[in-house]
Amino acid sequence: MAYHRTWKSAVAAMAIALPLGWSGIAQAQEAVNLRMTIWSANEAHLKLFNEIAAGFKKDHPDVSVTYESLPFDTYTTALTTQIAGGNAPDMAWIFETSAYDFVKSGALYPLTDTLNAAKGYNLDEVSPGATERWSQDGKLYAYPFSTSPFAMFVNNDLIKAAGAKTPAEMIAAGEWTWENAIAAASAVGKTGKGGLIVRDFNYQNWQYLTSVWNGWGASPWSEDGKTCSMAEKPMADAVSFIHDAIFAKKAMPGPGENVDFFAGNAAMTITQISRASLLPKDKPFAWDLVPLPKGPAGEYALIGQAGIGVMQSGKHVETAAQFVAYMTNPENSAKLSQFFPSARKSLLNAEVLEKTNPLLSREQIEKVVISGIATGKVMPGHTGFAQIQQTVRSNLDAVWRPEADVPGTLQKICGQLGPLLRR
Amino acid sequence: MAVTPHHETSRGRSSQPFWTMARRDSLAGFLFIAPQLIGIVIFVLIPLALVFWYSLHEWNVLANTFTYTGAQNYRMVIEDTNLREVLGATAIFSVGLVVLNMSLALLLAVLLNQKLAGIAVFRTLFFSPVVVSLVAWTIVWGFLLQKNGGINGMLQVFGIEGPNWLREETTAMISVIVVQVFKNVGLNMILFLAALQGVPNELYEAARIDGAPAFKQFRRITLPLISPTILLTSIITIVGSLQVFAQIAILTQGGPGLSTTVLVYYLYQQAFQFHFFGYGSTLSILLFVIVAVLTFAQWQLRKRIVFYES
């Protein structure tokens, strides 16, 4: 009995001790494994990224690159949690909204020297406007690999069925204004279909409304980012216009209403051109892609950006920076631009973009993509963006109801936003 | 005298070895509880101590700085203007959940505590949400509660214009409470059912002979006899209600305004979204204290309200 019990105890002890000890035995490998976090899980994207990684391996046989897809909605949270847990990736995609947080904190490794040293890289052809947000003290901390304009996708079938003018007709007549766009959306809204959708806004991500309020010359904060300008007249006018479009004209789906443009259920949607891949292949509708309408402040364009940075806390920062230089060199940028338009001047012409965006016509490419990237402002961003985003969101909820006090709410937002901006 | 050394030697030889039966037994016992104990130390006690340590620091993950700030985060708890609203929402959620969950569970248990054909089917039916994945359950409810979702569609059949459930402060709170109650009411129901079946039948017979009506029987016999279970379920439900996260994250993201931002969701925002890990840790200490005080208070209360304890 006692003999058996001793054995049982020994086995139990081994069962506990072995797994604990095993991690210590794991051997360090000589090969370098780089990991990049991304927010896309699209098969076509991953195939291209893996091809680029394979190309890098030819010159660097001991380096492997893996891509880790994290969910879009919680991407930055997941990334910072990895960093907090001491498990930072070597390279990471970064949203334009959180660019300031990453660049200013010192979390990223400066790339300028590595990029300039790479053969044929030609960093100078990337416009200063595109690199502004990703630089500090003359050094580039993340490369803006995607510079994608926002534009209006249109379902001409629904608009014609509602008896309204199509955006193309309005553009030809010089009448493509927000006033007229909402009138057409309202006509479709009254037929029971959705009118105009600002995609990804969902009454949560208010920063996507920039695609509308820039037409009024409105901005949530001043150029230097220190003062709140939500309560100023352009913003009050723009938000009142949006409120009126939602609740009085029924031209935009209200809070809690789920309508999908790409399923053919809405007249128009504002989103980035890369979403063209969502257009239905079976039973397609007559669609068009047009620039954003003219607002009271005139014509305007908006671009969304995404950067690739090398995490300072990684083990192989130099190698990771070399990989970023390879991934974003002119040759690979051309490949990437079929999904992520490049800010390189040599790639911003109709011939190149026509090849990489077969769904778009030459006219759409010239009017929407090229002129959008050339003239567009980047989505707003700020240090501490997540907290600013949440503060504005929770207060804006009061605007998204029929009997809202728009100027009063905006005033209240500035009261709370001011201290956060000044920090 | 000559015997003494011999006696000593014999005592020395016959002295028991180190591994006595009792020691072996206790070693085996310790080894058997070791996996659980190591788990608790690694995943509960050490993190708890670390959270307290973090709460005394300002930890900027991106800049990789970790600065000792003493009681500053605790002062922030007092000065945080949002926290009052957050604690209010937490209290409303917890009270609403506990009251609705316990009363519904008890009602269902009483109804299902009958010997009828097919009663097992009903018991299974009410218990089944407990084993469904919480996230899947909440996502489906999220669709149903949309303005143009299933619930309003059903109301429309009867000519009723349903509210925008998740977008208005009152209905949003009611929605998250009801979704959570439906998910977990089955568990309390089963516990109550087991307790009800433990109440001796003779007591009811005696009460009937004395002419006590059904309600009086319930109040004077059933309730006192199942009060230990009521105490247990209320502790579990209150602690659980203070830890609600997934439902809020999926259904309302704390909105509209801060109306459904409960403490756990708020501390998640502070730590993981705004990167204030130090302040987030302080808030989790606050949550720990609230849970500890409530549990202690209930445990003390048992002496007064729990009728029968074996």
Query: Is the residue at A5 inside a domain?
Result: no
Distance in angstroms (rounded) separating the CA atoms of residues B48 and A211: 45
Q: Give A 203-232 residues with CB within 8 A of chain B.
A: 203-204
Output the pLDDT for position A27. 41
Q: pTM of the full predicted structure?
A: 0.84
Q: Give B 77-116 residues with CB within 8 A of chain A.
A: none
Instruction: Name the residue facing A80 among B61, B255, B269 (closest C-beta).
Output: B61
Chain B residues whose beta carbon lies within 8 Å of the beta carbon of residue A193: none
Do A108 and A250 reside in the same domain of the chain? no
Summarize the confidence of residues B223-231 as an average pLDDT.
90
Conformation bin of residue A138: beta by default, left when phi > 0, alpha when psi is -120 to 50: left
Query: Taking 50 as the threshold, does the pLDDT of residue B127 lie above it?
Result: yes
Query: Is the residue at B59 inside a domain?
Result: no
Do A418 and A279 reside in the same domain of the chain? yes
* Residues of chain B above pLDDT 90, percent: 65
Q: Which residue type occupies A218? A: A
Question: What is the per-residue pLDDT across A291-337, written as a single tens digit (0 to 9) for each?
Answer: 999 999 999 999 999 999 999 988 899 999 999 999 999 999 998 98
Query: Taking 60 as the threshold, does the pLDDT of residue A5 lie above it?
Result: no
Q: Which residues form the domain of A284? A: 149-301+381-422
- Specify the higher pLDDT residue, A12 or A52: A52
pLDDT confidence bin for B3, thresholds 50/70/90: very low
Domain count across chain A: 2
Task: Give the nearest chain B residue to A398 (CA atoms).
Answer: B257
Output the pLDDT for position B262. 96
Do A246 and A367 reside in the same domain of the chain? no
Residue A40 CB neighbour total at 10 angstroms: 19
Q: Which residues form the domain of B127? A: 82-305
Task: Give the nearest chain B residue to A394 (CA atoms).
Answer: B257
pLDDT confidence bin for A13, thresholds 50/70/90: low
Output the pLDDT for position A9. 55
pLDDT confidence bin for B14, thresholds 50/70/90: low
Q: What are the beta bridge partners of residue A305?
A: A147
Query: Is the residue at A87 inside a domain?
Result: yes
Q: Answer for the pair A139, A116: CB distance below 8 angstroms, yes or no.
A: no
> b/e string for B72-88 if b means 16 or more Cβ within 10 A?
bbeebeeebebbebbee
Query: Is the residue at A12 inside a domain?
Result: no
Q: CB-based burial of residue A20 (10 Å sphere; 0-12 exposed, 13-18 middle, 19+ buried)? A: exposed
Do A137 and A86 reside in the same domain of the chain? yes
Do A122 and A110 reside in the same domain of the chain? yes
Query: Is the residue at A197 inside a domain?
Result: yes
pLDDT confidence bin for B2, thresholds 50/70/90: very low
Interface contact flag, A6 B24, Cβ < 8 Å: yes
φ and ψ at residue B286, rounded to 5 degrees: -60, -45
| A12 vs B: CB within 8 A | yes
Output the pLDDT for position A28. 43
Query: Is the residue at B289 inside a domain?
Result: yes
Interface contact flag, B62 A80, Cβ < 8 Å: yes
Output the pLDDT for position A17. 52
Instruction: Name the residue facing B269 among A107, A258, A390 (closest C-beta).
Output: A390
Output the pLDDT for position B157. 93
Query: Is the residue at A295 inside a domain?
Result: yes
Taking the mean position of all CA atoms in its chain, how far away is CA A310?
18
Distance in angstroms (rounded) separating the CA atoms of residues A102 and B89: 33
Output the pLDDT for position A128. 82
Distance in angstroms (rounded) separating the CA atoms of residues A342 and A146: 6
Query: Is the residue at B47 inside a domain?
Result: no
- Which residue has 């204030």 as its token pair? B276
Distance in angstroms (rounded) separating the CA atoms of residues B261 and B82: 10
Do A193 and A287 reside in the same domain of the chain? yes
| A84 vs B: CB within 8 A | yes
Q: Compute the C-alpha angle A155/A158/A163, nearest 5°.
A: 125
Question: What is the per-residue pLDDT across A220-265, written as a single tens digit (0 to 9) for each?
Answer: 999 999 999 999 999 999 999 999 999 999 999 999 888 999 999 9
Length of chain B: 310
Collect all residues with Cβ–Cβ distance below 8 Å to A354 and sequence separation of at least 6.
A360, A362, A365
Interface contact flag, B28 A107, Cβ < 8 Å: no
Query: Is the residue at A9 inside a domain?
Result: no
Conformation bin of residue B255: beta by default, left when phi > 0, alpha when psi is -120 to 50: beta
Q: Give A 318-377 residues with CB within 8 A of chain B.
A: none
From the list A205, A187, A185, A191, the residue with the least C-alpha distance to A255 is A205
Query: Is the residue at B71 inside a domain?
Result: no
- Specify the higher pLDDT residue, A70 or A29: A70
Question: What is the per-residue pLDDT across B151-180, written as a single tens digit (0 to 9) for each?
Answer: 999 999 999 988 989 999 999 999 999 999
- Which residue has 């316990």 as its token pair? B102
Choosing among A103, A105, A108, A400, which should be mutated to test the B contact, i.e. which has the most B CBs within 10 A? Answer: A105
Query: Taking 90 as the threshold, does the pLDDT of residue B266 lie above it?
Result: yes
> A165-174, A175-184, A345-354: which has the minimum mean pLDDT?
A345-354
Output the pLDDT for position A20. 47
How close is the nearest chain B Cα to the Cα of A159, in Å?
A: 22
Do A292 and A372 reside in the same domain of the chain? no
- Specify the higher pLDDT residue, B301 or B252: B252
Domain count across chain B: 1
Query: Taking 60 as the threshold, does the pLDDT of residue A276 lie above it?
Result: yes
- Specify the higher pLDDT residue, B32 or A10: B32
Query: Taking 60 as the threshold, does the pLDDT of residue B272 lie above it?
Result: yes
Helices (H) and strands (E) in chain B, counts: 16, 2
Do A115 and A214 reside in the same domain of the chain? no
Output the pLDDT for position A134. 96
Task: Output the DSSP codes for B97-150.
Answer: HHHHHHHHHHHHHHHH-S--TTHHHHHHHHHHHHHS-HHHHHHHHHHHTSTTSH
Interface contact flag, B277 A12, Cβ < 8 Å: no
Do A285 and A170 reside in the same domain of the chain? yes
Summarize the confidence of residues A112-135 as an average pLDDT.
92
Q: What are the beta bridge partners of residue A266?
A: A194
Query: Is the residue at B41 inside a domain?
Result: no
Output the pLDDT for position B290. 95
Do A218 and A321 reside in the same domain of the chain? no
Q: CB-based burial of residue A43 (10 Å sphere; 0-12 exposed, 13-18 middle, 19+ buried)? A: exposed
Do A57 and A141 reside in the same domain of the chain? yes
Do A97 and A60 reside in the same domain of the chain? yes
Q: Compute the C-alpha angle B74/B77/B82, nearest 5°.
A: 165
Query: Taking 90 as the threshold, does the pLDDT of residue B61 lie above it?
Result: no
CATH of the domain at A155: 3.40.190.10
Question: What is the per-residue pLDDT across B89-111, written as a single tens digit (0 to 9) for each?
Answer: 999 999 999 999 999 999 999 99
Output the pLDDT for position A392. 96
Kindly state the DSSP code that residue A124 receives in the 8-state scheme.
G
pLDDT confidence bin for B122, thresholds 50/70/90: confident
CATH of the domain at B173: 1.10.3720.10
The sign one gets for the Cα dihedral B26, B27, B33, B34 is positive
From the list A179, A192, A185, A178, the residue with the least C-alpha distance to A164 is A185
Query: Taking 60 as the threshold, does the pLDDT of residue A29 lie above it?
Result: no
